[in-house]
């Protein structure tokens, strides 16, 4: 005969298939010798047999259940029929994995008209006993007999209002007795049946109800959605109830085995004597720090200390434990890995590894990479936030941080006020490259339009600067220099606070608290870099950004955007001369001037990055981005360039594009104006040569953007190589360099084998690739991506987490095709997704060499990369076997 | 011993590998018994042996060559040493396929100081003889000895200028004698060698030179670029020279076996007695119609008649023949399929098939589908064009036709003037949907911006209306109502002529000639439809267009664009109410009104298409396309809709998008506003139900555009189905329908297996798919696509011919994935490429069921579809075996 019922001490944590998740966990704790309330589990096989036998419990099974019930009574020295040591049990369902939709829990099973008095006597608390009874009646009626719980709720509400009572705890024993009576009446009315007074019958009915709930509609729908086979079945766990409120020898508490805020090795928690768990939560009595238990009950405290150490060793992590003391006897109700702050996570990880409790790999795989954001940016004090006035709550948290400053509506004023010593916040409909100087001096950037990958968001993240975008309910009036918000008007120069982690904007200043990293953070990051297969580079071109990334030990630069170097005043002027001048000599002169600037830039950059790999992207944006927009600017620029306003407007209109994202940009510009790229590579190579002569071996990786056709790449690469070879001969030196391409068009992925014939390396530009694959403009899609997410059309924003089915397939194809031509080709990713942990796992899986992201995301990416390696090696059995 | 030399009568057309293309063709004509000048071919194997033997002709091969030379002398009764019947030969190279880069031809080999006098006597033309000699010296020096031909050219130029002579034919015998002497001097000077006087040595040296040229650099580069194996080798053909200028019994001519203009069955051509081919070309003497030869030399004419019939039978097509008569003996120098006009092509095809000369399949595969354009549109008289003033020559020929009319710059005026009886031409920077009414009344549309797939181009082609786009040198001033062009100013109301076939715009009216189709056109098209696997539907929604397509027997409608139905005045007003009204009741009322219009539209359409399949695309463009642009319009619309100008502008700015192509459009609109699509499907189903009740069984195919995610399609399909089922129940009827999707995003192709779970059919939208795959905006790419083509980065504009490597791979993937889910799924293409012959072949190859194109391209597509089937079946050996 199959064994269907397992005592907790007959199982362990690995028996989830048979005992369900809960049953297996309780068995595990029991097998560790912990004082877990005793009980047994009826197996999933019993469930299947029940369902296959026309929903009949076999006599054998009934006998087996009662045999285990008897054993339970013996072990606990309690009984359903005892008038002193009353046995009450909880009955819970438990499938292999947690599964919503099934009946969950019945507490206090065993209570009846007689036992309720026994419980009242034992706890010296009739109100508690009758409250337990009325709860049992309610739960049991609902889950076992399907009595609509509204019947009970409505009566309770009605009763309280009739008696002018507000809270459940205001109910007296008399009230509760009347309610119990009424609840039993509901059974009679609805079912024409009495509530079963016999605890044995209560138990059998409850077991049948749990088994049956495996096949109720919600459970079946959930299974089919999640591909869970219907023949798994559910187990039923029956466990002794313990009460912390039976007197002063009893109590209840929660604790962490280490301090979850600081990570210090100390038992941290609180407890209440003569109380139930709810009492702690309800806040009627104030719990006491766990340290006092050492004085109140040194014996129990000693047990707890031992258990803490044992559990940390067993689960290899800091634990969060619930316990109850019943008549001076300690029971552990639950233990699980404890939640902790980002800061403490690192300390705990380092301590546990150093104390020999666990391995680097295990601790690293448990830290949430995103939590590093918390660590690296200051945050508002939660208490201060509670009191602050919200003026926008719908913005997207584009770049984390907590910033307070005065509002300005244009870059120029922001710069001016900043120079005057003010802390400023730039607020715009949306930003454009001309705003960069203003963004650079601002504490935060706020826009009313755009999504997570809008210009403002991308640039701010690159700068590690707090940014909230798409605050659609802010009506910005740039002319009046005002913001209209729901509740008032905010004028230029008034103060707001911006929370880049939540996307909320507050009126006035909000207090901040600093967060700081300590040695353990750096230790963990060092481990992560050792473990990770995938290298992490940074997207950076300013000296500040590069220094930030180098502090995090970025493995080089994966994307240096040269166009960002064109937007300061004098350079923009030269660039405009190049675009606007009719005379070739002037155009070439302009380029020469720009080259001088670029040589200075690249030299400074190379001095930082030295022999680290550095990928430099040649000019990418369309030319119209360099031209002025407003009437005033047009007038100024026309004067500067010696044109009439009409001529300038004519040129602007010629360069204007209906869909600039799909327009004349990237390598297409260089096909039209090869001199642009040649100037840039000359500046790169001259700078590199300069450093090489000083003994610093720079090896630039020159990247051509927006290539869709092999012919584009061939033509440009050839021209560039000829130019470089001539230059090096002229300089009489040798500099190693590579020429590769950004893979950011679907077509590039499809012809990657051909591209690899010419390209020395690939770097995926996931922003554009996602835009083209979905046909989404990142500037416009914000409008509907949110709705798509709430309608569950999109699970994740594909600009934030790689879309494996679409974009991911193209990336996989490109990697395979590229390596089919050049097996050892260096392939990385430099788009926004390079800093997203879920995406990083995917990039690791498809075999990339590195990811590149904003400097402030480098540690996040390093951790995620290590986690992916650990996960992969675990699957291959290399680490934990 | 291997046989290396083949007399013409020892070979045939199939021996290209051994004899080269030329040698095999001459052998083929000889084997037909035609009077071909006699000769022999030295095989490609001989070439390989020569190259492998350190460039030595073996003694055996030399003997074999001289044996065949001897035979040639015997057959022709001519000899290198004869003083009366002089043998001269041509020596030509000939690989399997024509291959530039190798030495080509030496004529008149055999001439020397002595023989030149013999030739002078025979032709009674010393100047001719010496001219032949100096040409031989020049060609021989160049190709056999590698003497730079500039030496000869420079001398000749110098000689002429010194003697005040302009043309070669001005040279007298004395002049030529002096030149011959000088040329021989060049041999001496450059090579320190004499020109070989012995014709046998001339011949051997020439053969060696041809063989060696197989491995010269140009030939090797060409081979490696075209994947031609280097071990093919080249053959050498040696052929008797014949002269049409030996007296009045000699002559030369060209002829077509049928009239290449009308297709009539009559020998058509001209000839000159006592002349060489060059004389006909040089235009010094006027050739005589071939019919006169019947009188001049009935015997020869009879031979020609017989040969014409024989060749048409053999080559199964009308032939273009070159002939020479030498001393009353007819020689056929060349025969090939004759070029012909579109009109005659159809007549000739039908006649040849009916006369039993060939098969339908063979004739169909020879007609250029594009030539149908010529047939269906009137054209300008070429003589009139020669005299007309060109005002723009850089425009793109977006839609064929020849139109003359008065210039207007806005749709409204165009409509007004057209109603007043004028023929108008709409000239715009670019067109937008609001211009449709104006385009509809115009003879032609001209724009200064945009490419082959700009709005103007696409709509005009759909209307079958003459259109030229991207006339960048026309400066249109809409305010002044003027066009500035290089040479003057054109005011509103002045007349221009537009050639939609060349893209050229002319000043004033230009005379036209009508072209008409005759029965043979319809006969061929009927054959084509019978043969083709691929069906051809039309893209159409106006009754005029549908009627046009039905006349060409389109197999249904592949794309009916519902948004085109929204742009007439009243409808636009309702649509704007839907977009702008704040009150829900008003919005729904607006939709209801639009539905009434749509029911009328669909009913009219279904009355035309009856039981033919019809795919209706639900609303696709972004909402801002329906809103006004100019200040004046904004004022009007604001008044109409009861808004302030500011409110309307605010809403317009809200809906404005940075990259509208990648914005809130297609199914994304319907996710936001499901009521839009539900209104449309209700209109479709009500119309279909109405006709069904009359016994006309309409089965609408409802198409959801711009789907990228399976969730979009599922959600919308579900809503639509529920709405339809409810409606049909209400109407108490049943209408069959399908719901499918447009596949036009790269992502849709990648998840096509999932889409096919929900979609009943797929239709590829190649415009958008190409835009996204390349990252090209069709509105903007015109600027650089032309440069890309001239730089050979692009072979074809991917918006005009499918890009097999990129877009094509995605299409293939989607077809495979889609059919892996639904084996029998109907898959078509409805984008612009559906009307392009090269693309149609690709669509046939990947297994589509139909293509859909503008009504006026339907016959082109039908023919291309038939050709693809024929080609495919030929490869499978089904037709011609």
More confident residue, A809 or A568: A809
Q: Do A161 and A265 sit in the same domain of this protein?
A: no
- Check which CATH number belongs to the domain holding A480 and give it: 3.50.30.10
Give one word for B116, left, alpha or beta, with left for phi > 0 and alpha for psi -120 to 50: alpha
Mutate to test the interface with B, among A629, A659, A672, A744 (most CBs of B within 10 A): A659
A772: chain B residues, CB-CB within 8 Å: 746, 772-773, 775
Task: Report how far residue A697's alpha carbon sits from residue B705's, in angstroms, rounded to the nearest whole number.
Answer: 54
Find out whether A407 and A428 touch, Cβ atoms under 8 Å: no
Domain check: are A129 and A273 in the same one?
no
Structure tokens at B801: 């011919």
Kind plus residue range of the DSSP H or E element containing A700: strand A700-704
Distance CA B725, CA B718 (A): 11
Q: What's the mean pLDDT in B200-228?
A: 87
Which of these three, A497, A513, A529, is where a domain ends? A513
Best residue in A431, A451, A453, A658 for a mutation probing chain B (most B CBs within 10 Å): A658
Per-residue exposure over B157-166, b if at least 16 CB sit within 10 Å of its own CB, e if not: eebbeeeeee
Residue B512 burial (CB count, 10 A)? 16
> Which residues neighbour B18 within 8 Å (Cβ) at sequence distance 6 or greater?
B6, B11, B24, B43, B44, B45, B235
Q: pLDDT by residue (tens digit) across B610-635?
A: 999 999 999 999 999 899 888 888 99
User: Cβ(A830)–Cβ(A764) under 8 Å?
Assistant: yes
User: Based on the domain organization, do B53 and B159 belong to the same domain?
Assistant: yes
* B64 falls within a domain: yes
Asked whether the CA dihedral A574, A578, A583, A586 is positive or negative, the reply is: positive
Is residue A669 exposed (0-12), middle (13-18) or buried (19+ Cβ within 10 Å)? Answer: buried
Closest CA to B603 of B498, B501, B700, B459: B700
B384 interfacial to chain A (CB closer than 8 Å): no
Percent pLDDT > 90 in chain A is 66
Q: Which residues of B touch A779 (CB under 8 A)?
A: 657-659
Question: Per-residue pLDDT averaged across A294-299, rounded?
Answer: 92
Question: Does position A815 have pLDDT exceeding 60, yes or no?
Answer: yes
pLDDT in tens, B235-261: 999 999 999 888 888 999 989 999 987
Active-site option among A132, A308, A377, A455: A455
Residues B236, B252 within the same domain: no
Check residue B383 and give its pLDDT. 87
Residue of A nearest to B779 (CA): A658
**CA distance linking residue A217 with residue A233, whole number of Å:** 14
- Give per-residue pLDDT as tens, B296-306: 899 999 999 99
| Structural domain includes residue A230 | yes
The pairing of beta strand B826-829 with beta strand B850-853: parallel
- SS3 readout for B735-786: CCCEEEEEECCHHHHHCHHHHHHHCCEEEECHHHHHHHHHCCCCCCCHHHHH
Write out chain A residues lying below 8 Å of B708, CB-based. 773-776, 806
| Residue B141 and residue B28 share a domain | yes
Domain boundary among A291, A319, A340: A340
- Number of domains into which chain A is organized: 3
B296: distance to nearest CA of chain A, Å? 60
Reported confidence tier of residue B843, pLDDT bands at 50, 70, 90: very high
A809 touches chain B (CB under 8 A): yes
In which domain, by residue range, is B384 found? 377-513
Among the listed residues A765, A759, A662, the one whose alpha carbon sits nearest the alpha carbon of residue A714: A759
Residue B266 lies in a domain: yes
Whether residue B762 is predicted with pLDDT greater than 70 in this model: the reply is: yes
pLDDT tens, residue by residue, A146-157: 898 889 989 998
Q: Does one domain contain both A45 and A170?
A: yes
Query: pLDDT-based confidence at A170, cuts 50/70/90?
Result: confident
Domain harbouring B79, CATH code: 3.30.1490.20
| Same domain assignment for residues A201 and A257 | no
pLDDT exceeds 90 at position A529: yes
List, edge to edge, every strand of the sheet that includes B288-289: B288-289, B268-273, B251-256, B319-326, B329-337
Give the other-Cβ count within 10 Å of A308's Cβ.
20
Residue B879 has pLDDT above 60, yes or no: no
Cβ contacts of B592 within 8 Å, gap of 6 or more: B679
Q: Is the pLDDT of residue A880 over 70?
A: no
For chain B, say whether A774 makes contact (Cβ under 8 Å). yes
Chain A residue closest in CA terms to B789: A711
Query: Do A787 and B663 lie within an 8 Å CB cutoff?
Result: no
Both tokens assigned to B415: 């409509």
Where is average pLDDT lowest: A18-32, A397-411, A777-791?
A777-791
CB contact under 8 A, B672 and A803: no
The enclosing H or E element of A814 equals: helix A809-821
State what percent of residues in chain B have pLDDT above 90: 66
Residue A722 lies in a domain: no
Burial classification of residue A77, based on how many CB atoms lie within 10 Å of its CB (0-12 exposed, 13-18 middle, 19 or more buried): exposed
Task: Answer whether residue B50 is part of any domain.
Answer: yes
- Cα–Cα distance measured from residue A673 to residue A590, given in angstroms and rounded to the nearest whole number: 14
Q: Which residue has the higher pLDDT, B16 or B461?
A: B16
pLDDT category of residue A280 using cuts at 50, 70 and 90: low
Q: Which residues of A belong to the annotated binding site for substrate?
A: 561, 617, 744, 765-768
B195 closest CA partner among B182, B209, B210, B212: B182
Per the CB < 8 Å rule, is A715 touching B793? yes
Nearest neighbour of B659 by CB, restricted to A779, A783, A806: A779
**Is residue A604, in this structure, part of any structural domain at all?**
no
pLDDT of res. A101: 61
Report the residue from B659, B709, B776 with minimal CB separation from A660.
Answer: B659
Greater pLDDT, A282 or B605: B605
The CATH number of residue A335's host domain is 3.30.470.20
**Do A177 and A312 fall within a single domain?**
no
Q: What is the pLDDT of residues B630-639, one digit of tens each?
A: 888 899 999 9
Can you give the pLDDT at residue A881? Answer: 42
Residues B300 and B209 placed together within one structural domain of the fold: no
Which residues between 687 and 706 in chain B have a beta carbon less than 8 angstroms from any beta carbon of chain A? Answer: 706
> Backbone dihedral region of B695: left (phi > 0), alpha (psi from -120 to 50 degrees) or beta?
left
Is residue B781 within 8 Å of B451, Cβ to Cβ? yes
pLDDT value of position B100: 66
Inter-chain CB proximity B788 and A671 less than 8 Å: yes
Q: What is d(CA A671, CA B722) in angstroms, rounded to the nearest whole number?
A: 53
Looking from the CA of A267 toward its CB, the CA atoms found within 13 Å total: 24
Place A102 in a pLDDT band, splitting at 50, 70 and 90: low
Q: Which of residues 708-767 of B touch A (CB under 8 A)?
A: 708-709, 711-712, 715, 744-747, 750-751, 754
Q: What is the predicted pLDDT for the residue at B397? A: 86
Gap from B182 CA to chain A (nearest CA, Å): 45
pLDDT score of B203 more than 90: yes
The whole-chain average pLDDT of chain B stands at 91
Give the span between the Cα atoms of B169 and B779, in whole angstroms.
55
Residue of B nearest to A777 (CA): B662
Q: Which of B311, B340, B369 is the last residue of a domain?
A: B340
- Which residues of B are part of the catalytic machinery? 455, 830
Chain B residues near residue A788 by CB distance under 8 angstroms = 671
Same domain, residue pair B145 and B50? yes
Residue length of chain B: 881
pLDDT tens column, B77-106: 999 999 989 999 999 998 887 776 666 788
Strands (E), A261-369: 268-273, 288-289, 319-326, 329-337
pLDDT at position A762:
98
pLDDT, position B102: 67
Question: Taking a C-beta distance cutoff of 8 angstroms, is the pair A111, A87 a contact?
Answer: no
Is B807 within 8 Å of A662 when comparing Cβ atoms?
no
* CA-closest candidate to residue A385, choices A516, A495, A502, A490: A502
Nearest to A74 by CA among A87, A57, A65, A55: A87
Q: Do the chains contact at A750 and B772, CB–CB below 8 Å?
A: no
How many other C-beta atoms can be found within 10 angstroms of the C-beta atom of residue B812? Answer: 16
Whether A794 and chain B come into contact, CB under 8 Å, resolves to yes
Residue with structure tokens 């055996």?
Answer: B60
| Of B451 and A66, more confident | A66
Which range among A8-12, A750-754, B266-270, B565-569 shows the weakest confidence by mean pLDDT?
B565-569
**In this complex, which of B661, B746, B809 lies closest to A773 when CB atoms are compared?**
B746
Q: CA torsion sign, A463 to A466 to A470 to A471?
A: negative
pLDDT at A131 over 60: yes
- Has A377 been annotated as catalytic? no
Best CA proximity match to A818, nearest among A842, A840, A848, A843: A848
Residue B880 reports pLDDT greater than 60 = no
Q: What is the mean pLDDT of chain A?
A: 91
Q: Most B CBs within 10 Å: which of A775, A794, A796, as the mutation test of the B interface? A: A775
Q: Is residue B192 part of a domain?
A: yes
Q: Report pLDDT for B281.
A: 55
Q: Are residues B35 and B176 in the same domain?
A: yes
Q: Which of B225, B746, B749 to mutate to test the interface with A (most CBs of A within 10 A)?
A: B746
Q: Does the residue A197 lie in any domain?
A: yes
* Position A53 confidence tier, pLDDT thresholds 50, 70, 90: very high
Query: Are both A336 and A387 inside the same structural domain?
Result: no
Q: What is the pLDDT of residues B691-712, one digit of tens each?
A: 999 999 999 999 999 999 999 9
């Amino acid at each position: 005969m199959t064994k269907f019922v397992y005592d907790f001490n007959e199982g362990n944590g690995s028996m989830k298939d048979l005992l369900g998740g809960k049953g297996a966990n309780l068995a595990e704790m029991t097998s560790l010798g912990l004082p877990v309330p005793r009980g047994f589990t009826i197996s999933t096989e019993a469930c299947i047999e029940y369902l296959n036998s026309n929903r009949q419990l076999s006599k054998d099974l009934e006998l087996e259940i009662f045999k285990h019930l008897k054993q339970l009574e013996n072990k606990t020295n309690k009984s359903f029929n005892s008038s002193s040591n009353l046995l009450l049990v909880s009955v819970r369902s438990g499938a292999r994995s947690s599964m919503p939709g099934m009946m969950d829990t019945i507490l206090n099973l065993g209570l009846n008209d007689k036992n309720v008095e026994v419980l009242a006597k034992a706890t010296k608390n009739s109100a508690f006993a009758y409250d337990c009874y009325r709860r049992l009646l309610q739960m049991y009626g609902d889950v076992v007999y399907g009595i609509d719980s509204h019947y009970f709720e409505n009566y309770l509400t009605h009763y309280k209002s009739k008696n002018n009572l507000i809270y459940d705890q205001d109910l007296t024993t008399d009230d509760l007795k009347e309610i119990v009576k009424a609840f039993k009446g509901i059974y009679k009315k609805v079912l024409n049946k009495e509530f079963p007074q016999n605890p044995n019958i209560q138990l059998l009915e409850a077991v049948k109800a749990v088994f049956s709930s495996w096949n109720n509609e919600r459970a079946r729908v959930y299974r089919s959605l999640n591909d869970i086979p219907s023949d798994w079945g559910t187990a039923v766990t029956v466990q002794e109830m313990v009460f912390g409120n039976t007197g002063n020898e009893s109590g209840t508490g929660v604790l962490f085995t280490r301090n979850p805020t600081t990570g210090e090795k100390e038992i941290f928690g609180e407890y209440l004597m003569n109380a139930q768990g709810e009492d702690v939560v309800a806040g009627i009595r104030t719990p006491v720090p766990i340290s006092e238990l050492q004085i109140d009950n040194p014996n129990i405290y000693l047990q707890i200390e031992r258990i803490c150490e044992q559990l940390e060793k067993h689960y290899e992590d800091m634990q969060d434990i619930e316990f109850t003391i019943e008549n001076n006897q300690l029971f552990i109700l639950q233990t699980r890995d404890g939640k902790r702050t980002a800061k403490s996570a690192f300390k705990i990880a380092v301590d546990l590894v150093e104390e020999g409790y666990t391995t680097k790999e295990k601790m690293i795989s448990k830290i949430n990479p995103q939590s590093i954001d918390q660590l690296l940016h200051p945050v508002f004090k939660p208490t201060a936030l509670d009191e602050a006035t919200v003026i926008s709550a719908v913005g997207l948290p584009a770049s984390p941080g907590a910033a307070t400053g005065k509002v300005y509506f244009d870059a120029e004023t922001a710069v001016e006020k900043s120079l005057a010593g003010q802390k400023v916040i730039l607020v715009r409909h949306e930003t454009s490259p001309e705003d960069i100087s203003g963004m650079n001096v601002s504490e935060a950037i706020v826009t009313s339009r755009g999504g997570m990958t809008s210009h403002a968001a991308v640039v701010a993240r690159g700068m590690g600067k707090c940014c909230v975008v798409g605050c659609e309910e802010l009506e910005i009036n740039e002319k009046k220099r005002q913001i209209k918000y729901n509740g008032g008007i905010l004028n230029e120069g008034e103060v707001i606070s911006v929370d880049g982690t939540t996307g909320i904007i507050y009126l006035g200043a909000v207090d901040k608290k600093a967060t700081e990293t300590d040695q353990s953070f750096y230790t963990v990051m060092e481990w992560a870099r050792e473990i990770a297969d995938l290298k992490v580079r940074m997207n950076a071109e300013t000296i500040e950004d590069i220094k930030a990334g180098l502090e995090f030990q970025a493995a080089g630069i994966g994307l240096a955007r040269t166009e960002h170097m064109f937007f300061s005043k004098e350079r923009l002027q030269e660039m405009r001369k190049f675009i606007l001048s009719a005379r070739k000599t002037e155009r070439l002169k302009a380029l020469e001037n720009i080259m001088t600037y670029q040589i200075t830039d690249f030299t400074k950059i190379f001095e930082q990055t030295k022999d680290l790999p550095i990928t430099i992207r040649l000019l990418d944006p369309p030319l119209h981005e360099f031209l002025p927009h407003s009437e005033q600017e047009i007038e100024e620029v026309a004067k500067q360039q010696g044109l009439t306003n009409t001529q300038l407007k004519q040129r602007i209109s010629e360069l204007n594009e209906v869909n600039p994202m799909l327009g004349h940009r990237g390598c297409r510009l260089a096909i039209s104006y090869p001199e642009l790229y040649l100037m840039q590579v000359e500046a790169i190579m001259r700078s590199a040569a300069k450093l090489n002569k000083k003994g610093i071996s720079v090896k630039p990786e020159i990247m051509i953007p927006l290539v869709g056709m092999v012919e584009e790449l061939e033509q440009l690469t050839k021209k560039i190589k000829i130019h470089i070879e001539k230059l090096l001969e002229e300089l009489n030196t040798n500099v190693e360099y590579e020429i590769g391409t950004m893979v950011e068009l679907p077509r590039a992925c499809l012809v990657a084998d051909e591209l690899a014939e010419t390209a020395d390396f690939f770097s995926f530009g996931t922003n554009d690739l996602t835009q083209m694959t979905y046909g989404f403009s990142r500037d416009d899609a914000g409008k509907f991506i949110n709705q798509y997410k709430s309608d569950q059309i999109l699970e994740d924003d594909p600009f934030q987490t790689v879309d494996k089915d679409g974009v991911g397939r193209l990336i996989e194809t490109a990697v395979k095709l590229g390596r089919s031509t050049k097996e050892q080709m260096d392939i990385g990713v430099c788009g926004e997704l390079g800093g997203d942990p879920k995406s990083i796992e995917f990039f690791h899986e498809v075999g990339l060499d590195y990811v590149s992201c904003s400097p402030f995301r480098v540690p996040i990416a390093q951790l995620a990369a290590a986690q992916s390696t650990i996960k992969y090696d675990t699957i291959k059995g290399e680490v934990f076997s």
